[in-house]
């Protein structure tokens, strides 16, 4: 297993266009091989009746975070020498830091999976670095999953046995990943022709698969919002047309007394715009208050993103003014005599 793992990584790194390659027992958005356990911190006793925090852990090869593009926040990552020497070090994510080490520096602290008061088998592991959270079950997780990463073979020395017989290899490339699928298969086959490849896919394909349900829901929301916007335009136009028709006599008097058609149109638009602006402010306030309800459908953007609220305000105001402007222009073109005869 050790020889095959090294040979596969060396051959993958030698492929043209490959920037980084690594391996892991647990990948984001793929729960296969992702084991869980309780966390114990050295020198910290649990209160009576309290349960230790649970975390997910993965055994990784050197350069995993560089290959996956995971941001290193503090300390260092896991390199190849850590794996070769089976160093008892781990890297944890921000979610685990917030649970196990709130308001303190986790670097240098020692942790283990088993309770030292019950079992002496699991060894202590030193926290060497902290990385950013990654999606585990879904793209838009309301609560990030606490994760711990350890060198691939150091996990066995620590008394943890992840499924090393089912590894996932990750490759970062400068070229289109589809073009490297066949060379990667050949590279693995050259090491051991009996190794079975379960699946080969890009990270983008994994993201698309994970976001399929979310994308479908968002399409439905876009269709519903478009229909609502269209109905709003028709409604505003209809209401303004009715109001203008009810004020035909007034408009005729204004025009007969010397009011300019342009000023009449501006007056109607201004009055309609004030009402529309009040409605937009009330709607934005309601949207801001209930924005958390759609937080689970969003990824990479806050449900209270100021840019989205600003764009929505401008769009709705422009649509409302346009719906007011059309009947206002028609009213401004009325002849004073015709307008007075309708009274």
Name the range with the highest mean pLDDT among 46-50, 257-261, 314-318: 314-318
pLDDT in tens, 129-147: 999 988 877 666 678 889 9
As a whole number, the mean pLDDT across the chain is: 79
Check pLDDT > 70 for residue 273: yes
Q: What's the rounded Cα separation, in Å, for the pair 3 and 32?
A: 23
Asked if 272 and 320 count as a contact pair (C-beta separation under 8 A), the reply is: yes
pLDDT in tens, 114-130: 666 555 556 788 999 99
Q: What's the rounded Cα separation, in Å, for the pair 76 and 108?
A: 11
Domain edges within the chain: 2-210, 212-341
Chain mean position to CA 138: 9
Asked if 155 and 37 count as a contact pair (C-beta separation under 8 A), the reply is: no
CA R_g for the chain: 32
pLDDT in tens, 221-236: 889 888 887 887 788 7
Range 54-81 average pLDDT: 90
């Amino acid at each position: 297993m050790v020889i095959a793992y090294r040979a596969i990584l060396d051959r993958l790194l030698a492929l043209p266009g490959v920037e980084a390659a690594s391996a892991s027992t647990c990948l984001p958005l793929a729960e296969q091989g992702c084991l869980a356990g309780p966390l114990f911190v050295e020198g910290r006793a649990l209160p009576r009746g309290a349960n230790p925090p649970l975390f997910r852990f993965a055994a990784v090869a050197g350069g995993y975070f560089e290959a996956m593009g995971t941001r290193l926040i503090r300390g260092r990552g896991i390199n190849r020498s850590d794996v070769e020497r089976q160093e008892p070090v781990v890297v944890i994510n921000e979610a685990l830091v917030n649970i196990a080490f709130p308001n303190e520096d986790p670097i240098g602290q020692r942790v283990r999976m088993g309770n030292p008061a019950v079992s002496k088998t699991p060894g202590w592991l030193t926290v060497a670095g902290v990385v950013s959270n990654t999606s585990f079950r879904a793209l838009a997780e309301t609560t990030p999953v606490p994760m711990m990463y350890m060198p691939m073979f150091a996990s066995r020395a620590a008394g943890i046995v992840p499924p090393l017989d089912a590894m996932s290899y990750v490759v970062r490339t400068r070229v289109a990943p589809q073009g490297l699928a066949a060379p990667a298969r050949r590279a693995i086959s050259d090491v051991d022709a009996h190794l079975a490849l379960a699946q080969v896919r890009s990270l983008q394909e994994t993201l698309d698969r994970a976001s399929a349900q979310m994308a479908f829901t968002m399409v439905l929301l876009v269709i519903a919002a478009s229909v609502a916007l269209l109905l709003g335009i028709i409604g505003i136009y209809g209401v303004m047309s009715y109001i203008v028709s009810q004020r035909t006599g007034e408009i005729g008097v204004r025009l007969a007394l010397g009011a300019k058609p342009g000023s009449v149109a501006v007056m109607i638009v201004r009055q309609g715009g004030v009402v529309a602006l009040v409605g937009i402010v009330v709607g934005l306030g309601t949207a801001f208050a209930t924005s958390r309800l759609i937080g689970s459908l969003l990824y990479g953007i806050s449900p209270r993103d100021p840019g989205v609220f600003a764009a929505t305000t401008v769009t709705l105001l422009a649509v409302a003014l346009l719906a007011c402007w059309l009947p206002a222009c028609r009213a401004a073109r009325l002849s004073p005599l015709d307008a007075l005869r309708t009274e």
